[in-house]
Each structure stands twice: as structure tokens, then as C-alpha cells.
């Protein structure tokens, strides 16, 4: 296994569908943004469009954050908010990126941000500005500056890679690659590490990859299969599925591989554990009722309660960061579909067909999943209300097993 390689194969994002009641926002070209390696205003515009929440309008002009703006004119054109800004190269080579968010309806300023970054972090700073616009106009934290992890398979080269990229698919880095399959990546809560399963030892073993240092450690290499790592919210432990005693059961283990503790004891297969956001509950897949269904239990073990009842085959549970929504994959009508359930009411919504391996965005508003089409597997994103859909494709190979990273401090 080799680690830490940069790559040029970027993902392409295609958007379909829009949210209801889109907010009209104009984004002006930033003053002097040509000095930066990426056009800041273009990155912001693409982020806001991708969300489906905004109707993004090109302001058609360069407007600095220090300019006096005729907000009434923008209001008359049907725009509710205006993004303006500037980029300036500093003597030390860094770039000062400043922005303002202006309210055309009330005629005032909603937000502003300024910061100096190395040129290579221009896109990240633009994502942070888009996050600020999203939060100020919706009241929900933006996820444009977050990262995603996924597995790439190049069948021709017989190569598997664990890749990490920005949420828009740019700045991809290969963290690990080798000739044996890699599955089930899971981000640590602080975003510094990814747990995953590798078959390089001719059986599933759970590893932990440190993205900062490039080091990796074995977390679980028990007899039999070691699979499905899921982090506790405090980052101290992981839940895993192990078949060390013959039957697949759910265990917890500390992030350094110590303190193995068994949580389930059942004749059925118990697998795919997922911690709830508060760390008090573990959702998991079990066939104890005859076919695979989603159950939940206390994070310390004990009695389990069945959660899914519609359909005979329900797997891959994921819980939203606010703990209100369960996403999972259900096999109905001959295919696999992504469903979401309001846990309070039990109301179900079918979000996407041909879906596997769901992962919530850290703000809980979107779900990324793998989907097949055109002879290959790619990633897609759907909003939790089902209105906005995106597809992330690459020219080379298959990409699957997505894991959406946390908010970064």
C-alpha cells in the first residue's frame, strides 16, 4: 500500500433539479481577482448554484467590497442579496481576500469576511465565503469548505485508491492505493483521519489513515472478517463488525486498537453499526427478523429495537447530524433505492433509485451516495427533501463508497 499521492483526475459536477423558493443572489466579479490562481467569484457562484437553494445571477460587473453600490438598482432587478469583494497580493506573497454580503431589500450589509491565505488555498477561502453566504441567507451552516472521501477503482490497472477531495470534487489527493479492494471509509470527527477496510491481507482488516502525517495503523485484525468501522462522536472509539467468534457481531474498539468490547449476542448477523450524533445510540443492520432490517440499541449494548418495517431488505443505516433523520438503502420493486425517514413521525421519503452507500453532509441537508450508470459507478448527491440532485463523475474508473467529512475547525 502506498500513501499520499496527488492526482489530476478531478470529478465533474452536474446539477439537476432546484429547490423550492430559490433565493435570488447576484455575485459580482471580485476586484483584482486575476492575481489569484482561481477566480474567487466563479467558485462562490458554482457553490451556491450546486446547493439548489439559490437562483444565482451574474452581476455583470466588477464590484469591490469598498465600493458604494446602488442597491436599489439590484433590488429592482429582482435580486435579494449581492456578493462583492476583492483580492490583493501581499508583500509576503499571500493573498488578502475580502468580501461583503449586501442586503438589497433592506439596503444594508449582512456580513463581511477578510483573511490572508497562501495562493494554494484560494479555492478554500472562496468555499468559506460561500459557506458564510449560505448560512447568513438560510440560517444553516454551509458545507462547501468540507471534504469527501471515496474509493476509486481502476479495473484496467487493477488498482484501488482511497481518495480525499473538496466537496466539489476539486483538489483530489490519493491517501492510500494498492491492488486489493478498499471499502467503508469513515471520517474521524475532527477530520484528521479516515478509518477504512482493506483486503490486502486476503481478508478484511480495519485500518486508520492519518491524513496529516501519512501514517496508518491497524485498528482491528481479529480472526475472521473485520468490517464496517463507524466513529463515536467524541473520536475516542469506533464501532466495528467482527466475525472472530464465528458469527458477525458488533463491537467497539478504541481508536488505538485497544479495549475491544462486544455489544451484540445474537444468532443472526449484526453488522453496519452507526453511532447517532449524540453518541448514545447505535443503529445497525441485522437479519434477526428473517431478512436484513435496521435496528437500534444503546451504545453500551443491550436490547435492540427494530426501526424499519417497510420492505424485506433494508441495509446501510445512516443518521443525520441532528439525529432527526435516518437514511438507508431499501430493495423494493427489484432495485435498490435511497430512503429517508423522519424518526419522530416515521414518515418515509424515497430520494433516489439505483443507490448504495449513503453518507450525510455535516449540516444534514444533503446525502451523498454511489450509483451505477453508463457502465460505471459514480457518486451523486440529493437534498433530504429530494428536490436537488447532483452527480459527480470522473473520466477514469469507478468511484464509490463515499464518506462526507465533518465541519473543519
State the greatest distance between any 2 C-alpha atoms of the chain, in Å, as a whole number: 72
Q: Is 382 exposed, middle or buried (0-12, 13-18, 19+ CB in 10 A)?
A: buried
Residues 19/137, Cβ–Cβ less than 8 Å: no
Report pLDDT for 15: 57
Residues 312/294, Cβ–Cβ less than 8 Å: no
**C-alpha distances in angstroms, 246 versus 158, 229, 249, 270?**
31, 19, 9, 12
How far from chain centre, in Å, is Cα 388? Answer: 15
What average pLDDT does the chain have? 92
- The closest of 197, 193, 257 to 227, measured between CA atoms, is 197
| Tens place of pLDDT per residue across the chain (409 aa) | 544 544 444 556 565 656 557 999 999 999 999 999 999 999 999 999 999 999 999 899 999 999 999 999 999 999 999 999 999 999 999 999 999 999 999 999 999 999 999 999 999 999 999 999 999 999 999 999 999 999 999 877 789 999 999 999 899 999 999 999 999 999 999 999 999 999 998 899 999 999 999 999 999 999 999 999 999 999 999 999 999 998 999 999 999 999 999 999 989 999 999 999 999 999 999 999 999 999 999 999 999 999 999 999 999 999 999 999 999 999 998 899 999 999 999 999 999 999 999 999 999 999 999 998 778 889 999 999 998 898 887 666 689 999 999 998 7
pTM more than 0.85: yes
Domains of the chain: residue spans and CATH: 20-138 (3.40.50.10070), 147-404 (2.120.10.30)
How far from chain centre, in Å, is Cα 259? Answer: 29
- Residue keyed to cell 469598498: 66
> Nine-digit cell at 112?
463581511
Amino acid at each position: 500500500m502506498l500513501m499520499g499521492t496527488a492526482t489530476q483526475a478531478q470529478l465533474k459536477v452536474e446539477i439537476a433539479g432546484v429547490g423550492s423558493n430559490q433565493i435570488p443572489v447576484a455575485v459580482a466579479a471580485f476586484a483584482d481577482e486575476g492575481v489569484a490562481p482561481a477566480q474567487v467569484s466563479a467558485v462562490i457562484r458554482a457553490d451556491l448554484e450546486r446547493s439548489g437553494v439559490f437562483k444565482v445571477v451574474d452581476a455583470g460587473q466588477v464590484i469591490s467590497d469598498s465600493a458604494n453600490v446602488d442597491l436599489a438598482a439590484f433590488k429592482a432587478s429582482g435580486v435579494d442579496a449581492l456578493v462583492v469583494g476583492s483580492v490583493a497580493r501581499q508583500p509576503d506573497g499571500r493573498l488578502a481576500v475580502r468580501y461583503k454580503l449586501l442586503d438589497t431589500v433592506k439596503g444594508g450589509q449582512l456580513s463581511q469576511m477578510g483573511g490572508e491565505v497562501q495562493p494554494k488555498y484560494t479555492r478554500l477561502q472562496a468555499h468559506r465565503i460561500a459557506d458564510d453566504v449560505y448560512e447568513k441567507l438560510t440560517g444553516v451552516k454551509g458545507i462547501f469548505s468540507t471534504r469527501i472521501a471515496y474509493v476509486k477503482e481502476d479495473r484496467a490497472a487493477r488498482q484501488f485508491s482511497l481518495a480525499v477531495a473538496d466537496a466539489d470534487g476539486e483538489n483530489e489527493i490519493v491517501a492510500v492505493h494498492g491492488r486489493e479492494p478498499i471499502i467503508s471509509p469513515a471520517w474521524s470527527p475532527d477530520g484528521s483521519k479516515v478509518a477504512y477496510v482493506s483486503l490486502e491481507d486476503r481478508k478484511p482488516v480495519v485500518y486508520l489513515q492519518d491524513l496529516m502525517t501519512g501514517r496508518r495503523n491497524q485498528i482491528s485484525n481479529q480472526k475472521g472478517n473485520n468490517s464496517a468501522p463507524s466513529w463515536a462522536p467524541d473520536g475516542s472509539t469506533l464501532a466495528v463488525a467482527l466475525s472472530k467468534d464465528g458469527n458477525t457481531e458488533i463491537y467497539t474498539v478504541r481508536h488505538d486498537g485497544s479495549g475491544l468490547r462486544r455489544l451484540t449476542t445474537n444468532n443472526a448477523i449484526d453488522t453496519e453499526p452507526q453511532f447517532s450524533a449524540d453518541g448514545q445510540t447505535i443503529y445497525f443492520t441485522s437479519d434477526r427478523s428473517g431478512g436484513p432490517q435496521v435496528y437500534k440499541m444503546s451504545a453500551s449494548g443491550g436490547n435492540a429495537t427494530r426501526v424499519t418495517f417497510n420492505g424485506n431488505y433494508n441495509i446501510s443505516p445512516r443518521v443525520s447530524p441532528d439525529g432527526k433523520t435516518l437514511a438507508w438503502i431499501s430493495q423494493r420493486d427489484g432495485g435498490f433505492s435511497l430512503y429517508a425517514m423522519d424518526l419522530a413521525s416515521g414518515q418515509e421519503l424515497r430520494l433516489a433509485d439505483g443507490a448504495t452507500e449513503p453518507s450525510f453532509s455535516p449540516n444534514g441537508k444533503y446525502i451523498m451516495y454511489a450509483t451505477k450508470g453508463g457502465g460505471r459507478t459514480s457518486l451523486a448527491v440529493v437534498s433530504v427533501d429530494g428536490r436537488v440532485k447532483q452527480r459527480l463523475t470522473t473520466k477514469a474508473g469507478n468511484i464509490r463508497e463515499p464518506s462526507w467529512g465533518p465541519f473543519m475547525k
